[in-house]
Amino acid sequence: MKIKDQSKPYDSKKSCWVPNPEEGFVEGMIQGTKGDLVTVDAAGETKNFKKAQVHQVNPPKYEKCEDMSNLTHLNDPSVLYNLKARYVNQLIYTYSGLFCIVINPYKRYPIYTNRTVKIYMGKRRNEVPPHLFAISDGAYMAMMQVGDNQSMLITGESGAGKTENTKKVLSYFANVGSSESKDKPAENKKNLEDQIVQTNPVLEAFGNAKTVRNDNSSRFGKFIRIHFQPNGKLSGADIEVYLLEKARVISQQSLERSYHIFYEMMTDQVKELKPSCLLSNDIYDYHYVSQGKVTVPSIDDGEDMQFCHDAFDVLGFTADEVTNIYKITASVMHFGEVKFKQRGREEQAEADGTETGGRVAKLLGIDTGDLYMAITKPKIKVGTEFVAKGMNVNQCNYSVGAMAKALFDRVFKFIVSKCNDTLATGLKRACFIGVLDIAGFEIFDFNGFEQICINFCNEKLQQFFNHHMFVLEQEEYKKEGINWVFVDFGMDLQACIELFEKKMGILSILEEESMFPKATDKSFAEKLSNNHLGKTPVFIKPKPPKAGQEEAHFAIVHYAGTSGGGDDKKGGRGGKSGSFKTVSSAYRDQLQNLMRTLNATSLTSFVASYPTNQDPWQGGRWFGYASADL
């Protein structure tokens, strides 16, 4: 193959790349130049192109180049061609200077075995082919040599493969830091390495869902610290999670589904689970989780249910804890079928049958009457006393949705807390390597509070990446006296970040509005427009909605695209409540702490993941999409 690559036709003065509507770019030969036009023979025809459209081709010795910073000509078509040439030869990892680019193949390659781990252990990056393990080992060796904490940022939009790469990184550190030889037969005991790896099936079941662009999308962010002893052996781990997308618990768009666990529990993989959770055999009996797709061709819900169930045992969950987790999760499904009706001409709602509510109460271990009373006549504090407040049908339905979301969120947080208890071994901790996997940037037809926060977080991380990779690097050149003309990469994202963070920004206006009982979607949108429309280029009017879509109230220009957003009256995506200030403030505080942690680590390794599912290497659409992304 190497000989074939080296013998391809090439002329350093004539070989060029030119745009092509079918392929994105094609290679051609320059026939002549006249003024601003270049005549090129490409794809069997001769055409004229503007000079700016014609790019130089790299010499054959750079074919399938492992590190693209070595390319003689670093232009868009050369980068994309190199990635494609490597990808079609199952070489999915490519370096580009300090970071590693991963092209998601959407299939399993046998390149993550224990044997592969041994190949990369202790090797310099240039001694072995590009691989996620090489980046991981670089972070591990830097930690051992310098004695400082390290961090790895795994970036990319939804569907790019961040979560899968995170799992591979964790597996590598579990192998490298193992206190036992992997060659010895495994004893029947739960070791720390296995427990770290087994957090994945549990967190995926309760925190991942199918979205339009990704069948297994993480709908929460996580920062996992792998702690090591002074001798480099594992000493524990902890997981910090960021903003689970609670809206998805009770509402999904047509091509999406809710969290995997709901569909896994509907399989018969775990005996007696459905009877003990009072579940029927039909997922469509449960409106909250059946508004979109209920099956996914690429996912085996039964198999994943078994993985999750087994992982609970490895992680030290008791049988009662597991049973209660399943029961509370099932109660969320039943909540969607709890009905109310208006009592005569009164503004008071009452139960429209108590059978479903009785099932919810039984699963939660509470009295049915108390449950209905808490929903239809909740007690509120007035002065120093508590008084019952009458609720109408809409208010009751809203309350039930809020309870379902809160229950699921608390189950998720309990699982994370229990995992952290198990992974806290009490062994001495010298340093950690942090691995960040944040929910990917997505642009839905309608982006609610949680997705807008996810996109904001990605904006902050992209700025951190740009600052680390470009600004700091150029400052280093200045310090060392290297002759260098400062380059503005045009990637300052401060305007978008300030739109969220500054006084009278999106988050503070939202917090302010949440304090007023009579605030509406309209008043919120008007306040945003008055403060930002026409005053910043990143806040614009949304496009008109398509048929059947919800109307967005504003649009935000992110680095990765423009997203329309708003406040959803249905209570799903950012409904107003007195606790809303707590949610947004807590998320902002979490984000600030995360950025402080990342800035305090001595070396940040970047892994950039890219999807191929937009148009898998077939023609110009993928090239245009990937070019903009890269």
Q: Catalytic residue positions?
A: 158-159, 163, 214, 217-218, 440, 442
Q: Do residues 83 and 608 touch, judged by C-beta distance below 8 A?
A: no
Q: Report the Cα–Cα distance between both ends of the chain, in Å, rounded.
A: 28
In sign, the C-alpha dihedral spanning 539, 541, 546, 549 is: positive
Query: Does the annotation place 563 within a ligand binding site?
Result: no
Tell me whether residue 159 is annotated as binding.
Answer: yes
Q: Under DSSP, is residue 351 helix (H, G, I), strand (E, B) or coil?
A: strand
160 annotated ligand binder: yes
Binding site annotation covers 28? no
Q: Contact 578/516 with Cβ under 8 angstroms?
A: no
Q: What is the 3-state secondary structure (H, E, C) of 302-331?
A: HHHHHHHHHHHHHCCCCHHHHHHHHHHHHH
Q: Cα–Cα distance between 376 and 392 in angstroms, integer? A: 8
Estimate the crossing angle of helix 506-514 against helix 494-501, to 10 degrees. 10
Q: Is 578 annotated as a binding residue?
A: no
Q: Determine if residue 236 is labeled as part of a ligand binding site.
A: no
Do the annotations mark residue 157 as ligand-binding? yes
Nearest to 158 by CA among 435, 468, 444, 412: 444
**CB-based burial, 133-163: b 16+ in 10 Å, e otherwise:** bbbbbbbbbbbbeeeebbbbbbbbbbbbbbb
Widest distance between CA atoms in the chain? 89
Query: What's the rounded Cα separation, in Å, for the pair 351 and 330?
Result: 20
Contact 174, 197 (CB under 8 A): yes
Residue 247 is assigned to a ligand binding site: no
Structure tokens at 26: 């094609």
User: Are the CB atoms for 401 and 250 separated by under 8 Å?
Assistant: yes
CA dist., res. 114 & res. 106, Å (int): 22
The position carrying tokens 């509370």 is 328
171 burial type by CB count under 10 A (0-12 exposed, 13-18 middle, 19+ buried): buried
Residues 73, 58 contacting (CB under 8 angstroms)? yes
Residues that constitute the known binding site:
156-163
Residues that constitute the known binding site for ATP:
156-163
